[in-house]
Structure 1
Amino acid sequence: MIQIRTDLAMEARELYQEKNNKEVEGVAVDRDELNNATITRVEILDEHGVEIMGKEKGKYITIECPSLRKADADLKDEISKLLAKEINQLINKKNLKALVVGLGNWNVTPDALGPKVVSKVFVTRHLFKMYNKDSDNDINEISAISPGVMGTTGLETSEIIKGIVEKSKPDLVIAVDALASRKMERVNTTIQISTSGISPGSGVGNNRKALNESYLGVPVIAIGVPTVVDAATLTNDTIQLVISSMTKESKPGTEFYNMLGQLKEEEKYQLMKEALDPYGANLVVTPKEVDEIINNMAQIISNSINIAIHPSIDLKDVNRYIN
């Protein structure tokens, strides 16, 4: 099976369905259609599902909202609440000790999502230590770190996080990172939450050692947004639009366009990749408005984390004091 680059479980499922015309065995799927968003819940149940999907066992919750690229304040608040609700269902909120990890390179805008989220998280661990408290009815003990990338630190990100976990002993790690998608329409419009951990650098095909419960010794919730696609994916999507347009305008039964239309998604992607690779042109691509989009996404995700993990903090509080 040709490997099209994607970090989204729902896209891995779509690829299998397109090729086999059936649902993936060992995978449970649920879908909710809301006013401004669609939530797809994919749960990989067994090793058979792991093998087919190419992803670890666990829950993968994807929120799609096409309007996020030009989100106003009301929409950002709505998606923040929606995301917080999904996070809440995965955590034990009482007396929680959590470490929020912002993965990525703060000097590269499409990869700066994690560090930007960390800068807006309401950290409280120092307050618990200062007042020698083990618990509080209003807030939980939260710490946060943005460890940078191996190219600037010379250290494996996973090693840094493991050391912090061993020293601070959180109950939970929440890792935020930029991802890659197989479709341009999902770039910066989709948020994925998973319980299976995350591999730093996966969005640009530079996978490092995974941050997961097996390695860190505590549960890991990963939150990611696809901020990039590779050039082969972009070209493939563009050609598909051209084919659809020209097929409508051409005479029925035109052999050339019928042939193009019958190519499977994987075959078209591989064709584009083979054409671009000899020229070193299979680049990683992101929209030109990426600065504003990353800022908006960072606000949405940090707001959702703040209201999900602190019992007495709501959206009004974080919008007024933290952002």
Structure 2
Amino acid sequence: MSNIRTDLALEAREMYQQNANQESEVPGVEVENAGSKDISVTRVKVTSSEGVEAMGKPMGSYITLEVPRLREKDQDLQEDVCKTLAKEIYNLIKIDKKSNVLVVGLGNWNVTPDALGPKVVSSLMVTRHLLEYIPEQIDEGVRPVCAIAPGVLGLTGIETGEIIRGIVDRVKPDLVIAIDALASRRLDRVSTTIQIADTGINPGSGVGNKRMGLTLQTLGVPVIAIGVPTVVDAATMANDTIDLVIDSMIKQVEQGSAFYETLKNMNRNDKYALIQEVLSPYIGNLMVTPKEVDTVIEDVSKIIANGINIALHEGIELDDVNRYVH
């Protein structure tokens, strides 16, 4: 696999095909495309060890919603994304209608690009306590849901995975849903893409931090991960920019320059390594995020929260959510 940083299975698949110079499917990987022009849905399923090696991702299902106009604050579109997200989450949930669900909002609420998880938790229908103390006032079909935003190691001094494992041991949920900010290798996917996976998640992996994973193996219960890329690695961005500039120059020059052709024919990993070597002394391991990231996080967190709300609670519509969210 390439060392270009991405958390998206869709991009891992694209990079494998690019590095192999082929358009045929990755071995051990099944792909299904659905959705519409406004909301593209790509379902990638890693089915074998060969696929794991090729993709650098654990075996399981990865569903990606690409919504190019997500930043435009179109309310109708946002509602459509909520419903599409809810449908995809519902299809991954394999638990009883009365089963208890723990939602974990990963990230640092003091850093806007990393505040997606805590923001989602703040807009979530938390119902476990209501069903315990005032069940007669709760609508039929509402599931017991509890939530936690545990912060990050730098704030608490405790590994996030250890906190969650302690809560799981005590609360004994039947399912954990973890939400986290991700990293992409393409600027156009930042804040316009939502990934759902049934393989769990490694907190902090998007920015190069290796932490204890939240998975079936570490927690003892199934874990569904939902993430949105909010940052892109600076070297990756520079790499893509150079590719665009080279393509433009070659089109403008009839024969093309030998220099440009040499750059174009360089292996993508070699270009990335060269750019990283040049940038590192000056900017270190820099991650880039859009300037309007605060409003983007606000909008996307509500979309994800409502998608989870609709998926978990049978018969609940968007108009019903406000009665349970404080």
Q: TM above 0.5, one fold?
A: yes
The Cα shift of 1:268 comes to 2.3
CA shift at 1:263, angstroms? 2.6
**1:11-60 deviations in whole A, cap 9, x for unaligned?**
11111111112422111111124130211111111222112211111100
For the 8 Å contact 2:126–2:325, the answer to whether it is kept is no
Structure 2 unaligned residues grouped into runs of 5+ = none
CA contact (8 A) 1:102 1:118 kept: yes
Q: How many matched pairs?
A: 322
Pairwise CA RMSD: 1.8
Alignment of 1:31-180 (within 5 A): 31-91=33-93, 92=95, 94-131=97-134, 137-180=140-183
CA deviation after TM superposition for structure 1 residue 88, in Å: 0.7
Q: Secondary structure at the match of 1:66?
A: coil
Note if 1:291 corresponds to 2:294: yes
Aligned-partner SS, 2:110: coil
> Structure 1's 63 and 105: CA in aligned 2 closer, same or farther, altered over 3 A?
same
Q: Which amino acid aligns with 1:121?
A: L
Contact 2:249 2:256 in 1 (8 A): no
- Residues 284-321 of structure 1: CA distance to partner in whole angstroms, max 9, x if unpaired? 11010000000011010001000110112112222676
Counterpart residue number, 2:319: 316
Residue identity opposite 2:255 in structure 1: P
Amino acid in structure 1 at the alignment position of 2:59: K
Contact 2:250 2:256 in 1 (8 A): no
User: Which of 243, 252, 272 lines up with 1:249 in the alignment?
Assistant: 252
Distance in 1 of aligned mates of 2:99 and 2:275 = 48
Cα distance in 1 for residues equivalent to 2:256 and 2:166: 63
Identity of aligned residues (%): 57
Per the alignment, in what secondary structure is the counterpart of residue 271 of structure 1? helix
Q: For residue 17 of structure 1, what is the aligned residue in structure 2?
A: 17
Q: For 1:136 and 1:56, how far apart are their aligned partners in 2?
A: 38
Retained in 2: the 8 A contact 1:93–1:311?
no
State the Cα deviation string for residues 254-291 of structure 1 (Å, max 9, x = none): 22222222233323222211211233443011010000
Contact kept in structure 2, 1:93 and 1:310, CA below 8 Å: no
1:270 aligns with 2:273: yes
> How far does the alpha carbon of each residue in 1:91-146 deviate from its partner, in whole angstroms, 9 at most, with x for none?
1361121000000000000000000000000001111221479x973200000000
2:6 is matched with 6
In 1, Cα distance between equivalents of 2:96 and 2:64: 22
* Structure 1: gaps of 5 or more residues: none
Q: 2:220, 2:75 → 1: CA distance? A: 38
Distance 2:2 2:279 in 1: 16
Is structure 2 residue 205 aligned with structure 1 residue 202? yes
Contact 1:232 1:269 in 2 (8 A): yes
Instruction: State whether structure 2 residue 28 is matched by structure 1 residue 26.
Output: yes
Contact 1:93 1:309 survives alignment (8 Å): no
SS at the partner of 2:92? Answer: coil
TM score, norm. by length of structure 2: 0.94
TM-score normalized by the length of structure 1:
0.95
> Is the 1:231–1:281 contact (alpha carbons within 8 Å) kept by the matching residues of 2?
no
> Cα deviation per residue 1:156-203 (whole Å; 9 max; x = unaligned)?
101110111111111100000000011111111100000000001112
Deviates more, 1:182-191 or 1:250-259: 250-259
SS, match of residue 260 in structure 2: helix
State which drifts further: 41-50 or 175-184.
Answer: 41-50
Give the whole-Å Cα distance in 1 for the aligned partners of 2:2 and 2:192: 25
